[in-house]
Amino acid sequence: MENDYTSVMSRRSEILLKATGIDYARVSRGRLAFDYDNLMANIGYDLHRIAEIQRQTGVGNTPLLELRNVTELVRRRALPGKGARIFVKDEAANPSGSFKDRRAALSAYHAKLKGYPGLVAATSGNYGAAVAAQSAAYGLKAIVVQEVFDSAGRGQPEILEKGRKCEALGAEVLQTTVGPELFYMLLRVLEETGYFNASLYTPFSIAGIETLGFEIAQQTREATGRFPDAVLATHAGGGMVTGTARGLRAAGAADTEIIGVSVDLQGLHMASDKDFNRKSFTTGHTGFSVPFTTWPDRVDVPRNAARPLRYLDRFLLVSQGQVFYATELLARLEGLERGPAGNTSLAAALVLARTMDRDRVLVVTETEYTGAGKVPNSQLAFARSMGVDVRYGGEEDSPGNVICIPSSFDALQTRDVDLATLKTSFIRKAVGELRGLLDGEAEFISCDSRSELADVMDAANTWSPD
């Protein structure tokens, strides 16, 4: 077979069908619409069974920790009667050190059950280590494809750290430069090896996160006598938001507010050779969260099982400097040294808790492991080497130019993203891609974006090919 880029991409559907065992055509309901509930149910594992599978390799049932010292600080800086209790789910207790083990555990189990010789994942984040760890637990091979370098051969310390961890866990790591070759290489590897595609966006991956939401609901109720008032989930491709929300609902916490949080990197293009190394966060930032929220199916499978607009109640942005501040605060006040990316939602919780009554409960969905390349000093040193001005106090961050570490707790702030604007963007994109709507498509778009059907119809009626 021809292995040039165009030829490989033309075989995409055939490769992915063999590599996942999921016939996405069976849940398709036309050009865009598909049966989402059927897609999620087709994996054949209910929530109880998924939890059992995860426990076999030590995944899940992680501690829910009340941040008493942090909460006390918040209350000292809040108005009388304000200052919600803050809890964090310590996902660093998972085998590879992040919540991503929940995603990988089900994929590895299923791959072993179906006779695949190994797993492949395209990721520069913690998921590679999770896939490596779970593959090892099931005696399977693992290949992790990482986007690492710019054209000058420079790799971010955090990504290099994760590559070393993948190798330590027995995975083969293939590293690429920034650009379209990441997905091309993934398809080539899947086709040549016959391995399972442990994509971040299959139903296996999203269903694995549902146990996180379920545990948060149960453990919060045990600790406080109530479900959490709000859960803050770091938002990138939508998996954390989607899986956590579904798990909370399954546990009966239907009224818990789902708040997505991203690092504000607006103005930086994630596929740009110039911009790639001028950011200090490889995930959980607007370069992923905004595009994936407005059009989730930009992924390595035909349909993304992560559908964030179906579940988001609010969407907040924090700066890189604030996340570094929250990371040091957590270490100094609670004795929990964790990786900065996992503290994205904590940075927002520090602000949000000050506005909420003292009897309210906030839960941050995750922590992540840390290591030599992930600690703030390493990341900030690399930022300086790239010409980024790292300041303490002063003006706000300027993504790619200035990282401003807040000089005080009172300087912390968040910014709301207008969900209505994102929904409008999603609707217009859908109508434009379809060049008008057929029967049933407006209803799907309305459900998928949690929008009024009238808004979808208005967009369809005003759409023009020009």
Quote the pLDDT of residue 396. 79
Quote the pLDDT of residue 354. 97
Does residue 285 register a pLDDT over 90? Answer: yes
At 197-251, the pLDDT tens digits run 999 999 999 999 999 999 999 999 999 999 999 999 999 999 999 999 999 999 9
Write out the H or E segment, with its range, that includes residue 325. helix 320-334
455 C-beta neighbours (distance < 10 Å), count: 17
CA distance between the termini of the chain: 40
DSSP 8-56: HHHTHHHHHHHHH---GGGGB-SSS-B-HHHHHHTT---HHHHHHHHHH
Quote the pLDDT of residue 183. 87
Q: Is 59 left (phi over 0), alpha (psi -120 to 50) or beta?
A: beta
Q: What is the mean pLDDT of residues 158-172?
A: 95
Quote the pLDDT of residue 263. 97
Gap between the Cα atoms of 211 and 214, Å rounded = 5
**pLDDT higher at 437 or 294:** 294
Gap between the Cα atoms of 196 and 135, Å rounded = 11
Q: Is 233 helix (H, G, I), strand (E, B) or coil?
A: strand
Backbone angles phi, psi at 418, to 5 degrees: -75, 105
Please report which confidence band the pLDDT of residue 283 belongs to, taking 50, 70 and 90 as the band edges.
confident
| Architecture per CATH, 5-53+98-200 | 3-Layer(aba) Sandwich (3.40)
Q: Quick check: 420 and 449 in contact, CB under 8 A?
A: no
The percent of residues in the chain predicted with pLDDT above 90, rounded, is 85
At 264-281, the pLDDT tens digits run 999 888 778 888 999 999
Beta carbons within 8 Å of 358's beta carbon, 6+ residues apart:
75, 81, 82, 83, 84, 85
CATH topology of domain 59-96+204-416: Rossmann fold (3.40.50)
Does residue 300 register a pLDDT over 90? Answer: no
Gap between the Cα atoms of 27 and 262, Å rounded = 31
Quote the pLDDT of residue 459. 87
Note if the pTM is more than 0.75: yes
Q: What is the mean pLDDT of residues 153-158?
A: 91
Does residue 259 register a pLDDT over 70? Answer: yes
**pLDDT higher at 347 or 393:** 347
Does residue 464 register a pLDDT over 90? Answer: no
At 191-212, the pLDDT tens digits run 999 999 999 999 999 999 999 9
Does residue 258 register a pLDDT over 80? Answer: yes
Q: Is 242 helix (H, G, I), strand (E, B) or coil?
A: helix
Backbone angles phi, psi at 300, to 5 degrees: -90, 15
At 7-54, the pLDDT tens digits run 998 998 899 999 999 999 999 998 899 999 999 998 999 999 999 999
Q: What is the mean pLDDT of residues 283-289?
A: 92
- The pLDDT mean for the chain works out to 94
Identify which of 30, 53, 51, 27 has the alpha carbon closest to the alpha carbon of residue 40. Answer: 27
Tell me the β-bridge partners of 234.
Answer: 261
Q: Quick check: 332 and 61 in contact, CB under 8 A?
A: no
Tell me the β-bridge partners of 143.
Answer: 120, 172
Quote the pLDDT of residue 466. 64
Please report which confidence band the pLDDT of residue 315 belongs to, taking 50, 70 and 90 as the band edges.
very high
The percent of residues in the chain predicted with pLDDT above 70, rounded, is 100
**The pair of three-digit structure tokens given for residue 21, joined into one six-digit string:** 């065992």
Does residue 465 register a pLDDT over 90? Answer: no
Write out the H or E segment, with its range, that includes residue 231. strand 230-234
Distance of CA 3 to the CA centre of its chain: 31
Gap between the Cα atoms of 195 and 193, Å rounded = 5
